[in-house]
Amino acid sequence: MTMRAFAVDEFGARGAIHQLPVPEPAEGEVLVRVHAAGVNVMDPIYTAGWMKDYLEHRFPLVPGIDLSGVVERVGAGVERFAAGDEVYGIVAKPVVGEGTFADSVVVKADGLAPKPASLTHVQAAAVPHVGLTALAAVEASDPQPGQVVLVVGASGGVGSFVTQLAAARGATVVAVASGPGAIQAREHGASDAVDYTDADVVEQLRARYPDGVDALIDLHSDADVLARYGEAVRSGGVVVSPRGPAAAAAPALQKHGVRFVSANRLPATRLPDLTALIDGGQLRVPPIKSFPLEETASAIAEMAKGHVRGKLVIEIA
């Protein structure tokens, strides 16, 4: 029995629809019929081969990290889910190439949670990876009511959730954005926006917040730019980034009395926390641009260019 899957046959290839065998769930695994899958920054990184020296990649390589769909069948020992359950979650495997851009995918049971009832599959597919990363970043910065949190990348997938989560804690969120991005950030709870195309961001911040901001959550910058933004953080404040290269800024930040924290995506066992906020109306999914499975290559290419506002999602079934 075969299924459709978007895959690349070599690093750097554009990719195309393949007919691949439907996988079988092993013990502790669930076979999910995928209705939609989110596109994330790691997808172009994997297909280009930038992580080939660090992770095993298998061809034909099917990218895709998160999904929303319906359980088809479960492997031995799985009691939490049954055929017909609507779920969303994350594929976390030791190899790259068995992803979610396919009609069906096998996922570990602990990588799934019941889909938020208030969301469609397309909306739910936009949540897991970016939502769990945002939750990690906000918990790492631990903003308190009245504190000022600067968010770089506020209009992206992770940033949209970071803005909402920080604002819900009572923080004053300042977004580094311009034009439509600034408007979107304000819609998600930002109180202020600094236009990076207008003038030097740090100088603008010093004029508006002379005592410095309490925290910086930077979802976009590499080390040099992050260190520059960090000059706007008060002594005793914190800088948080989920990006590996950003950690090189830690020594420069420490000279100013600012602590650096790397925030990795939280495990899928925290998805119910996001579900409660979504179904309770406290957390909204960012704007979505969707693509059919046949246009997955275009979605990955768009993600590779950067500066995506909201989320890109592949509609599969």
The structure tokens 């590499």 sit at 222
Can you count the helices (H) and strands (E) in the chain? 10, 17
Rounded to whole angstroms, how far apart are CA atoms 65 and 164? 23
* Integer CA distances (angstroms), 41 to 195, 213, 302, in order: 24, 28, 10
Q: What is the pLDDT of residue 196?
A: 87
- Among 60, 202, 70, smallest CA distance to 124 is for 70
CB 170 within 8 A of CB 146: yes
Q: All domains of the chain, ordered by start, with CATH? A: 2-127+285-315 (3.90.180.10), 130-262 (3.40.50.720)
CB 34 within 8 A of CB 4: no
Sign of the Cα pseudo-torsion (135, 136, 142, 143, in order): negative
Q: What is the pLDDT of residue 306?
A: 86
Q: What is the pLDDT of residue 198?
A: 85
Burial of 104 (0-12, 13-18, 19+ CB in 10 A): buried
Q: What is the pLDDT of residue 276?
A: 98
| Nearest 10 degrees: Cα torsion 300, 304, 306, 311 | 20
Per-residue pLDDT of the chain (317 residues; tens, 9 = 90+): 999 999 999 999 999 999 999 999 999 999 999 999 999 999 999 999 999 999 999 999 999 999 999 999 999 999 999 999 999 999 999 999 999 999 999 999 999 999 999 999 999 999 999 999 999 999 999 999 999 999 999 999 999 999 999 999 999 999 998 888 999 999 999 999 999 888 899 999 999 999 999 999 999 999 999 999 999 999 999 999 999 999 999 999 999 999 999 999 999 999 999 999 999 999 999 999 999 999 999 999 999 998 899 999 999 98
Radius of gyration of the chain (CA): 20
Q: The tokens of 238 are what?
A: 């914190």
Q: What is the pLDDT of residue 252?
A: 95
Rounded to whole angstroms, how far apart are CA atoms 214 and 175? 14
Q: What is the pLDDT of residue 178?
A: 82
Q: The tokens of 138 are what?
A: 């906000």
CB 75 within 8 A of CB 28: yes
The structure tokens 């969303």 sit at 88
CB 80 within 8 A of CB 40: no
CB 6 within 8 A of CB 63: yes
Q: The tokens of 173 are what?
A: 């969120």
* Integer CA distances (angstroms), 254 to 215, 241, 244, 267, in order: 14, 15, 17, 29
The structure tokens 């309490």 sit at 214
Q: What is the pLDDT of residue 179?
A: 85
